[in-house]
Amino acid sequence: MRVSRIVLLFSGLLLPLASAQEPKKAAPPLPGEKMIQAYFQRQAKEIGDTTLKDFKTKEEWEKAKPELRRQLMEMLGLWPMPARTELNAKVTGKIERPKFTVEKVVFESMPGLYVTGNLYIPKPAPVKAPTILYVCGHGNVVKDGVSFGSKVHYQHHPAWYAEHGYVSLVIDTLQLSEIPGLHHGTYRDKMWWWHTLGYTPAGVECWNAMRALDYLETRPEVDAKRFGVSGRSGGGAYSWWISATDERIQSSVPVAGIADLQAQLNEGYAGGRLEKGVIAGHCDCMFMTNTYRWDFATVAALVAPRPLLLGNSDKDDIFPVPGYRRLAEKTRKIYELYGAGNKFQLLETQGKHEDTVELRAGEYRWMNRWLTNNDQAVAEDQFERFTPQELKVLEKTPEGQVNTTIQDLFIKPASIDLPKSAEVVQSWWPGEKAKLDKALQEKVFAGWPKNVPELAAKPAGDQTHDGVRLRAWDFTSEEGVALRLWFMTAGDAKPTLVVLNLLDDAGWTEWCADLGPEFAEVLQLPTPVKRDEAKFKQNRAVMEKQKWAFAAVCPRGIGPTRWAEPGSTSDIQYRRRFALVGQTLDGMRVWDVRRAFQSLKANPDLKGVPLWMQGKKEMAGIALYAAMYEPEVARLDLWHLPASHRDGPTLLNVRKHLDLPQALALVHPRSVKLYVKDAEAAKAWAWPLDLQKALGKESLQVRIVGD
């Protein structure tokens, strides 16, 4: 049937138009590109080499499995589990066909979060029939600006099941549904604050699938002991989430929905850009927030020993063959611990990233085998497809829907109330501080290196011009991440104070301009920059008068190690990779600053010299966290620090536990000067100011300096 003006959107994302155009000539690589690519190769190998390796017996795996499942729930944003509120399920219409009925169903997985779907029921209506939950991939159908959901595109799956004695519920995704939500927060919209809450739309998709099972359990036609799940592409990923977290699923066929970290970070789809890794071909719903640094074989293994068929095509550019074969090999070993090797199989067919007949036939036969004890070959007959209008559930968008804003509501940020009594604060704060310290170590910075190499600091340059001397030292932040530290003085006398400046992109440009063209080689500048004469003289005068020295460091990805233009597509795709290895870029920049500070402390010429640290905006936040772990930072000067991590810096899961006002309190009683633009901005810091007042030592000072 031909329908006019229909748009079909396939796969894990909206593929960039550049992929369909003539390839452009590649720009010369930026200085940090090789470093960042090698970094993620090491990270993927480090995690992959240990995945499922320690489990030698079924008993060992069974003992570990409950905690692993809890960890996955946490990484999906589902721990603690949300309340199972009333579904308020409604059937808004029915369609009759000779062999089955289709009910148009809507329910609320939580208040205001509407899930639209179609329930296919065989004729005559069965009692206790095997039931398939089909979770759609990204195949939305849009006509004349109206979204009909992905259930329209994937209708042939539930129709086949209904014609063969199954009940089948097909549900729309959050983003490509009748009430379109959002899957592309970090992929497209630079909503890096999602990482600060550990939010991923994968958690919403998993929750919606759980609640779909809850709804199906209310239906007399359904045998809740014979649930199966399948889906392709995005739906393949959601099949993994629900199968791994909910043991009501008794048979699973995820299709083209998973690959290991090596493929996600380093192999396959390049999307017309220099960096490779199939993560660039997937939106955010395809991934949990990987706090515990898993490879994806652990997700698959949590299905064991229930029947699991992993389907994929051999020319799928966003789920490449090596990525799912390596994963399957590790998963199979867990099934073998149960003596259930026959319950895990890999179905690999010829083809691209498409919903092929061969993949569907394998899916149907697998469900028959394990849910109806029938292992005969199957066929798929043609059937008359429904129009989008026929399958539409809602006549209008319900008032009070939260589908479009669920990212703001699904995970609530921590709220820490300060006791009103100073006496209570004094007894409460030590325990609260210890709790927050533990959360930071285990949930926010767990991706920091475990095997820390030597700093290996070595001189890398020394240049003097017009009374200003600039020296440089190269040091190792972690394996494969070499950074440079600069040290500026007026003359050669030992300074009375060193101020370490943390440079972002704007700060790096300013630092270079403050020095001028004579220092280009020490600064690793390919092209000299014009000097700001006024700033040069001002800095020299301060250093001469106060006997101060200024140090500076660019954390990874800035200045000499820049790997992408800020805000570019490549920059976004590299940033997204960090959460997949249990990190964020800003979290690793905190580590870099710590190592720069340690390099200063290790310099024998600076023994006994006080060291301060300062930064602006997000770098102020990075300075704050670095100082928490470097107790010899004598003072912090923080300029225009954001009032919340929602505005930066982006640290993994941090707002689940605290926000920047509490972070300021964690460095108490060290001296902190906080510079804000006005009295209104100063109000954001009432929490740490009240705390220190109750503790009796007011080391934090807030100063208004304007913009």
What domains are defined for the chain?
55-408 (3.40.50.1820), 451-580+601-609 (no CATH)
User: Is residue 50 within a helix (H) or strand (E), and if so which, with residue range?
Assistant: helix 33-50
Q: How far is CA 555 from CA 270, 484, 588, 618, in A?
A: 26, 9, 8, 12
Which residues have a Cβ under 8 Å from the Cβ of 395 and sit 6 or more positions away?
92
Instruction: Report the alpha-carbon distance of residue 664 to residue 563 in Å, rounded.
Output: 31
CB 609 within 8 A of CB 646: no
Helices (H), 126-226: 156-163, 193-197, 201-216
Q: Which of 105, 111, 103 is nearest to 87 (CA)?
A: 111
- Number of Cα atoms under 13 Å in the Cβ half of residue 245: 28
State the Cα–Cα distance between residues 275 and 266, nearest whole angstrom. Answer: 8
What is the reported pLDDT for 26? 59
User: Which stretches of the chain score pLDDT less than 50?
Assistant: 1-23, 270, 272-274
**No. of helices (H) and no. of strands (E), the chain:** 20, 21
Angstrom distance (rounded) from CA 489 to CA 498: 9
Would you state the structure tokens that stand for residue 418, as one six-digit string?
A: 């300060």
What does the alpha-carbon distance between residue 451 and residue 447 come to, in Å, rounded to a whole number?
11
Using DSSP's 3-state secondary structure scheme, residue 270 falls into coil
Residues ≥6 apart with Cβ < 8 Å to 687:
416, 418, 661, 662, 665
In terms of Cβ atoms closer than 10 Å to its own Cβ (0-12, 13-18, 19+), residue 15 is middle
- Extract the tokens encoding 551: 């140090």
- Tabulate helix, strand, coil % of the chain (nearest 5): 40, 20, 40
DSSP helix/strand/coil, 422: helix
Say how far apart CA 20 and CA 31 lie, in whole Å. Answer: 28
At residue 7, the pLDDT reads: 32
Residues 6+ apart with CB under 8 A from 614: 499, 500, 501, 502, 620, 623, 636, 637, 638, 639
What is the model's pTM? 0.95
